[in-house]
Amino acid sequence: MGCQSWSSYLEEYQKLVYRLDTPRVVIDNGACPSATVVKVDSARKHGILLDAVQVLTDLNLSIKKAYISSDGRWFMDAFHVTDQDGKKLTEESVMSYIEQSLGTIQCGRTNDYTGLTVLELTGTDRVGLLSEVFAVLAHLDCNVVEAKAWTHNGRIASIIYVKDKNSGSPIEDSQQIYRIEALLRSVLKGDSDIRSARTSVSMVAVTHTERRLHQMMFADRDYERSRPAAEIAAEDDSSAVAVTVLNWVEWGYSVVNVQCRDRTKLLFDVVCTLTDMQYVVFHATINTSSENIANLEFYIRHIDGTPISSEAEKQRVIQYLEAAVERRASEGVRLELCIADRQGLLADVTRTFRENGLNVTRAEVSTTMGTAFNVFYVTDGVGNPADPKIIEAVRERIGLSELQVKEVPLVHSQKGEREEEAAGGVAGAMLFSIGSLVKRNLYNLGLIRSHS
């Protein structure tokens, strides 16, 4: 009898441990008139906030608001999300995927790129560089399956997933890998980047692609470089990024506030940078105004529990976060290409851009079931808006029905947000007391009742 009781006790204990380690996810379409509310409760682990945000942003969902609290040993978040059209989520398959993915989040999530070889490239950006890169890969019989490229402050970082054109397998031959690295490094160096151009080839994607792009550009110190004059001149007040850092001495937090134009994946970019800088987010409030201006306020500490300790560290945080927000800021005309995939397609398309004086500032390449779905942001050679006549000439050459000009997807604002902000408070420069912040977070998570 005693043995049975002990066995039963162990079984109940294992169930308790499982419940504590397994996030509880609730998706609610009735709590907010303008967005779907996704609530996540879990034991707190470093990096779990980033993983939760990653699940949502990988679906290109817009996070309109968020209330985050993870003091003590518990992690409680509520995200107000919409699709890219600013509508609530209605597809059961999408909501089921979110629920399943958030319910099994593990720190350091990666995408599955089994069977592909991973190329990582960094160097000085110039007109036609991607065209040269894709031409080299086509020449070496590398089939590009997926790729992402970012440019910022005159630098470029790209991650490209390839396989052998003939065998359809990962590229494992050491001589072939050496040739790929050598030729790509030569292209990246050009005439002016002798020391800082870098290439690497591996068989495994070590982390999430976009998180890795942030890490690569950070390692390349893109945040230190001066921005092109044309880019600064073209920037208006609404697109500027404002970051402030203050210490809340009484409670031992550092308070980071980011204000900029809202866009998809903004929260991911900021949380990713804070996580990789070894900061822990204990509380946060994210809010978007009716003018599509995002205010993000984070109460953070180092992993060891201490706040930011010096003015120099504050300035580093400001510098790093400004760069993180700017890297993905959409510059140029958005061109979407949907076409049957073939060997050398990317080399041909990007060569057409180069021959017409267009510079690719950002690219997202993917291939599914033999069809290429590619997105390019293009400007003229010095970063100014591209001439519409040139864009049309390029479209006629590639295919008017295949290459389409698309408006940059704006994060839609909903009616009534001003009233919600007045009631709940906007995460802005004015710093609220920690007690009020936690109470507001718990109320928005539905864990306490309003006493107003």
- As a whole number, the mean pLDDT across the chain is 84
Adjacent-strand bridge partners of 74: 43
Q: What is the pLDDT of residues 320-336, one digit of tens each?
A: 999 999 999 877 999 99
- Report if residue 383 sits inside a domain: yes
8-state DSSP, 383? S
Here the tokens at position 171 are: 């590229």
- Report if residue 282 sits inside a domain: no
- Report if residue 13 sits inside a domain: no
The boundaries of the domain holding residue 218 are 117-227+331-406
Query: What is the pLDDT at residue 437?
Result: 47
Here the tokens at position 410 are: 């704006």
- Report if residue 373 sits inside a domain: yes
Least Cα distance to 379 among 408, 409, 347, 401 occurs for 408
- Report if residue 38 sits inside a domain: no
What global pTM score does this model have?
0.84
R_g of the chain computed on alpha carbons:
24
- Report if residue 174 sits inside a domain: yes
Q: What is the pLDDT of residues 206-240, one digit of tens each?
A: 789 999 999 999 999 999 865 555 555 455 555 68
- Identity of the residue numbered 159: I
Query: What is the pLDDT at residue 44?
Result: 77
- Report if residue 127 sits inside a domain: yes
Number of domains the chain is built from: 1
Quick check: helix, strand or coil at residue 301?
strand
We report the CATH number of the domain holding residue 186 as: 3.30.70.260
Query: What is the pLDDT at residue 425?
Result: 37
Query: What's the angle, vertex CA 164, arms to CA 359 and CA 401, rounded to 5?
Result: 45
Q: What is the pLDDT of residues 53-65, one digit of tens each?
A: 999 999 999 998 9
8-state DSSP, 388? H
Query: In 10 A of CB 267, how many CB atoms?
Result: 26
- Report if residue 99 sits inside a domain: no
Query: What is the pLDDT at residue 190?
Result: 77
Q: What is the pLDDT of residues 112-141, one digit of tens each?
A: 677 899 999 999 999 999 999 999 999 999
Helix (H) or strand (E) holding 219: helix 209-219
